[in-house]
Chains A and B, each alone.
Chain A
Amino acid sequence: MKRFLPLSILILAVLAIVATLLPPRNPAEYDLVAFSRLPTLVNGRIKPLDTVARTSLLMLQGRQRVTAPNGRTITPTEWLLDVLYRPEVANAYPTFEIDNPDVLALLNLTAEDGFGVGKNRFTFDKVQKGLPELERQSKLADAVESAVRTPFQKAVIQLRESIVLYQSLQVSLLPPNDDHYLEQLATFNATVPAGLAAVAAQHSGKAPDMSAAKVILGLSDTAATLESLGYLRVIPPQNRPTDPMGWGNAGAALRQSLDHGKLDPALAFYAQLGLAWRGYQPATFNTLVHDYRAGLDRSIPSLMSKCDTEARFNSAEPFYTSMMIYVVAFLVAVFSWLKWPDELGRAAFRLVLLAWILATVGIGIRMWLEGRPPVTNLYSSALFVGWVAVALCLVLERLYRNAIGSVTAGLVGFSTLLIAHHLALGGDTLEMMRAVLDSNFWLATHVVTVTVGYAATFLAGFLALLYVIRGVFTKSLDKATADSLARMVYGIVCFATLFSFIGTVLGGIWADQSWGRFWGWDPKENGALIIVLWNALILHARWGGLVKQRGLMNLAIFGNIVTSWSWFGVNMLGVGLHSYGFMDAAFWWLLAFVASQVLLILVGSVPLAKWRSFSSQSPA
């Protein structure tokens, strides 16, 4: 049993990964998977509809799964189809998460109206009645500077943004309250030329066919509405379809179709698809999708393969699987301290390696999709901090083989992926880079190096946490383990000093190259500098003999506070050239983290005689 344990754990984990990589299956006879891979331009990037469905749901309700009122679970793609083509059905899905009690009161909603475990998910039908009042309140809140808004005002604005997103998604293909629109498009090529002739006749003073002309006027109005409000730019341009500037929404395509008297083929496809979806005709639906897709494969093959990869990447959720394996690895590694250290230790190491490889592949795919270095926003920085820290842990574990590296890897890997998961709630994480950041050279050098510095400083802090927790609360921290931990922390602090210093310097050079000054005391610059200074302080205190092993550990734990401040804290100040990602929900988490670290430093400051590991022996 003992001999086969590492191998069987590894095989189980590999099987779990393989299961996520299998092609997603369609729940019913509709080929939703093929539909979900169709391309659209949203927020400056051409992406599969699958990504739009998932990120919209994350923004509306913080998760990708939708449960219909009858209890059936709906995939994001199915939800998107209903939002686009069957508004009356979609409006009855509980997809608005509202937690603020004052906002609920404002909309006359109670928990009885809500769905889900927390009774905090509401349907558009229920929310709709309160929209005028919501609009009024959000106008009041708009006037308040974002930093000083009350929780109620923030919740109002957030809900208003959700509603706007939902409604503009809904008018991507269908105009509101028009039952004949799709039928009109279906007969477009037959009826519209006559209508255009009638309009021309009207202009030249001849007796026009009034009913035919009326159709054209109606369609022009619809085109104007859809063009100004529609969210999805699903229509590829006829010439140069790879240039994102040419992609338009359905309204623009309808306007151009009216000009030419001939329906745009992509618009025709989406109209027929709507009829098939509304009419419950899976066979027609599938044929339409496959034919349209075949055309795209001919005109934009490279974009389509990117969309396919992205949709597969979405459904495989590699970071989620990786996060789960880190948890298992952590538990296995901790158990290895109690029993079967060799076998379980090896199993934990392999699990960490597996999870890390998975994360590597995930980060690699993101880089390929985006055409960017690994760190472009807060979300990807969380992924990358975890990746670097775990890589260092793997090295430590290879050197020391005492499961400390694996335990820390499990802990850091899990925490950073959890942070990343929460940062992803803001929408699509493959964003376009704002002008000043649009430089792959500096993103690849300065940003990556600084992030490696963050990761190493965190790692030193987490290793020190292990030292304190094991030393104070257990008897397991013998002299050899304590010494090896001290060497690890010291080595990682050296590594962190080097990288955070070089990263900060590269930032200065970037600033000098693009702004003409090396150092401007901007909050983010200061945050990076404080990390360098703190690491330098640890090293000097150690060299000067001002701290011994335990002092080193406490200083390293404080490094966690310093790094989290620089990583997230300065963004919350909302000032400076670097403040691109302002977040406030995370503020309380940051505070809680800082408090926990202070608490552990206090625990670490308990006299060594009180430490369970040291009470029976002479202090280390």
Chain B
Amino acid sequence: MKYNFPEGLYTDVRIEHVFSTTIKYTNQDLQECREQKYSAAFVRVYDGKMWYYASTSDLNGIQGEIDALAALAEKNPKIEETAIYKNLSAHKDIVMAFVGREVSNVPLDDKIALLKSVMPIVEANEYVKLYRTIYLDGYTIKEFYNSKGAELMFDWQRTGFVSMFTMAQGERKMDGNCQKAGISFPELIGFEQDLEKEIAKCQEFMLNSEPVEPGKYSVIFAPLVTGVFVHECFGHKSESDFMIGDETTRKEWELGKRVGADDLTIAETGSIIGNGYTPYDDEGNKATMTHLIKNGVLAGRLHNAESATDLEEPVTGNARAMSFEYEPIVRMTTTYIDKGSKTFDELISETENGILLTSLSHGSGMSTFTIAPTYCYLVKNGKIDKPVRVSVVTGNVFEALGDIDGISDKVEMFSFVTGGCGKMEQSSLPVGFGGPYIRVRNMQVQ
């Protein structure tokens, strides 16, 4: 055993060895060039009634932190009989998925050169007034040990860059961005065509978009937006820590309840390589495949050990912390809507008066979910009509799933380069998301 774990208590230690790079240009001026490296740890002790946490950057002092927390806790001879203890695992495993292609081994000069290579494309557009080009990467090795005997080591990596630009012509303004995310540096090469298309789309939108007529519409979400929609509209509702001690919510979201059409299936898993990759979660439980909705029926929820205990359901490997400074709470990993049977063309041609929403700047989700779009197009009489400016699309979480009346036949998966998921003080956590094109009735558009 690596540490001397006190008797009568559950204890775990999570150690994070972190490497990251940030490079930012504004126009052609280098604004930020940073490599960050550190190791730090988070320690938890549980006595059957309360959790005691400490975070430290002194890896030699971890035993001292364990002992100090143990002194605050009440020793419990029956700790092993507690339900939460039973929901914590004793896995022993090493899963190093990124060895040999670590971004920490890519020279900083190569990362800078990659950014510089795309700048002329943006620079060439006559309407671009300001642009930023950002490269971000991260490589983390986590170790996990607990008093049940768990010994884990696994790694996580992401890399990507984004080009953000602001166009203006007189009073007309438009912000656009194009990003490419991957899990290794070579994947980022070959970005130019996507960027050229995005710039052309932004220009067309700035010059020709009109304010939308506010009201209720059928909204067709592109796969990127579908991913955010499912995350915001339903994913957060599936995080079961909100349901602890809450009978009303449990009844409302009772497993087996029909909430959507037969072809609606929503899944969640930490096993997909990408931003949400979590082979073991931050309390040592293994990633699972969780169907949140299967064929329109509520089928599962996301858990850490505490929520799984309270709801008497299996753990799902969704306890995640933003960094060594935070405790693991129930978070999504990679969440997506599965494919349906319609083509994109069918979704459009069946729509009399709707909005096609192809990208977004942010979303949020509580009882009312929101999506702040970038590009929207009016759909009239089964055809894409014209670009329209929309501040926000909102819908009711309880009704939106039932209002999905069309799902296309191809799923795309995404990871954002910048941003991530926010949940109270822990923002922002990298997650994956995706889905096909979907059409949702009765969305408020303004």
Q: Do A and B come from one complex?
A: no
Chain A residues within 8 Å of B, Cβ to Cβ: none
Chain B residues within 8 Å of A, Cβ to Cβ: none
